[in-house]
Amino acid sequence: MTKTDSAVVVRVLYGSETGTAQDVAEQAWKSAKRKGLQSTVSSLEDYDIRNLISDQLIIFVVATTGQGDPPANMRRFWRLLLRKNLPVNMLQDLKYGILGLGDSFYQKFNFAAKKLNKRLAQLGGEELLPIGLADDQHNLGIDAVVDPWMKKLWDEIGNAFNVPVEDKVGEENSVIERYDVAVMETGRSTSMSSLCRSKSDIYAQEALTKDGVRIGTIVENKRTTTEDHFQDVRLIQIQSDGVQYQPGDVAYVRPKNSVQQVKRFFDILHEHDVKLFPDTVIQVSQKEIKVPFVLQRNLTLGEIAEQYWDLNFKPRRSTMYTLSLISENELEKEKLHEFASPAGQEELYDYINRPRRNVLELLTDFPHTTGKLNAKLLFEIMSPVKPRAYSIASSSKATPNAIQILVAVVRYKTRLLEPRFGLCSEWLASLRNNDKLVFWLQGGTFRFAKDKPIILIGPGTGLAPFRSLLLERALTDESLRDYALFFGCRNKERDYHCKEDLERLSREKNLKVFCAFSRDQENKVYVQHVIRRQRELCWQFLQNGGSIYLAGNSKNMPNDVRDEFVNLVKEIGEMTKEEAEVFVEHLEKNNRYQCETWS
């Protein structure tokens, strides 16, 4: 039976740890609205799973975390979907599309999306088109897959439901607005004095209304690298009464933009005659999409710019599209339209991704278009600050009522004159004793073995979850002789993080510590080279039921270390390369080789 566009509802559901899937889902929702289709968008945790039986069309946008796990706001939905008593034809009336957002540096690339796709098919759902597997490592980022997949999706929806899927043009309001945004008080002050970071936190109410959300107090912010070292790394202790966690757990932190960045934002607006000020009071109410909790009370635009919008955000194709709709300058409109088109993606990459250009720099480069902005439009082109995740580096038993995180402050240069920086790490490094921050804890992906030998590989800040484990086990285990830690950094005297802890555990608890100081000799030495030197010990650990845990940067190290384990199994275990590969794969499948990496 064919259906008209008034009958079909395009439901878009997202599962995401940090918000990227939400961004993509909302763009899919906007695309449906532009086509004149009925559409809704929500997180999987807000979706009533009982509607699965009656819904005809769902688009899933799903990220993957850790060891191929579903994101936090998808877990309840996933548990219900896995119930064994569900009939195999339960979803026979459902047509669906799944878009996975992942990173191919991770071994279980887009695993959550793949598992969801398999389960929906098992329950009788009909796949509209093959699953889309977006890869953050692609030169064009996730858009390289998202854009063509979405185009194909609309074609398939048009065919399946007999509805037109062309964008409708000539409508009075061409920008699809998510919220009703009203200016309650116009404001007039250009002063930044109202932004007092230690006293004003728009997310503080979450600690009163959401389970697990806490307000922590900085009690120590100590640099673990020498002042003359190129990188600033901090061990930050956050006090919070009654906090409980396990080794491997993760702390999510809500960062803020610097006052300097906020000032720059308002300076750009004022330079282009946009009459919005830090003390302008804004009210956000529901129009099409549920308003985030933090915006459900009146806030000043200064508070929103400091704490809600990411002023370091790298604009995506959707940002260019929205700006192209409001631009009235012929040259700017043409360039924005090009950036928003499929044919312009290479040029957009060269403009945004290569130099890591942020949204403030974009607004500066398109002054005539910037002059057309207002409060409503800012909510359509700006992206919310995403919480950042850090492995906890402390033990709740050794340091009660507190957590410690090991933070590498991100600063680097591109071809742009102004150096780039990481929003959260730069903000964390600026915090002083007694400053407050909003955070929450989440179970980590590592599942540490007990009463078995353990091999830990944690170069750089990858040390954090293993420091947590070792400090905890040192309080309960008589000896740590069945633990081997491989740590790597550049110089023994400049960036050997938590050196005193590791030397103490080695001295008092027989922890085996092997270090790779890559720049302390002419030939560079990395953790995989030190593993090679200790291959007899590693093989002995594995033969005794031991497990391997690896944490750190995802670029080259994880693959290099894995290759080294395949080689040592081949050499010492006297296997062929194929047999050694099967041996390591067996470790991975049985959670005896676990990785937690980031880019």
Annotated binding-site ranges for NADP(+)? 461, 518-519, 524-528, 560
> How far, in Å, CA of 572 to CA of 101, rounded?
39
> How far, in Å, CA of 476 to CA of 395, rounded?
12
Q: Quickly list H helices, 197-316.
A: 206-209, 259-271, 301-303
Q: Which residues are annotated as a binding site?
A: 16-21, 63-66, 136, 356, 388-391, 422-425, 461, 518-519, 524-528, 560, 598
Evaluate whether 306 touches 197 at the Cβ level (below 8 Å).
Answer: yes
Q: State the SS3 of 306-362.
A: HHHECCCCCCCHHHHHHHHHHCCCHHHHHHHHHHHCHHHHHHHHHHHHCCCCCHHHH
User: Among 560, 555, 567, which residue's Cα sits nearest to residue 104?
Assistant: 555
Q: Which residues are annotated as a binding site for FMN?
A: 16-21, 63-66, 136
> How far, in Å, CA of 536 to CA of 524, rounded?
22
Q: What are the backbone angles phi and psi of residue 271, rounded to the nearest 5°?
A: -60, -25
> How far, in Å, CA of 26 to CA of 11, rounded?
11
User: In 10 A of CB 102, how many CB atoms?
Assistant: 25
Q: Which residues are annotated as a binding site for FAD?
A: 356, 388-391, 422-425, 598
> How far, in Å, CA of 125 to CA of 96, rounded?
7
Let me know how long the chain is. 599
> How far, in Å, CA of 395 to CA of 58, rounded?
43
Residue 565 carries which side chain, given as an amino acid letter? Answer: F
Tokens 């400090």 appear where? 471
> How far, in Å, CA of 167 to CA of 152, rounded?
14
Q: Which two tokens stand for residue 500?
A: 């005193």
Evaluated on CA atoms 208, 214, 220, 223, the torsion sign reads negative
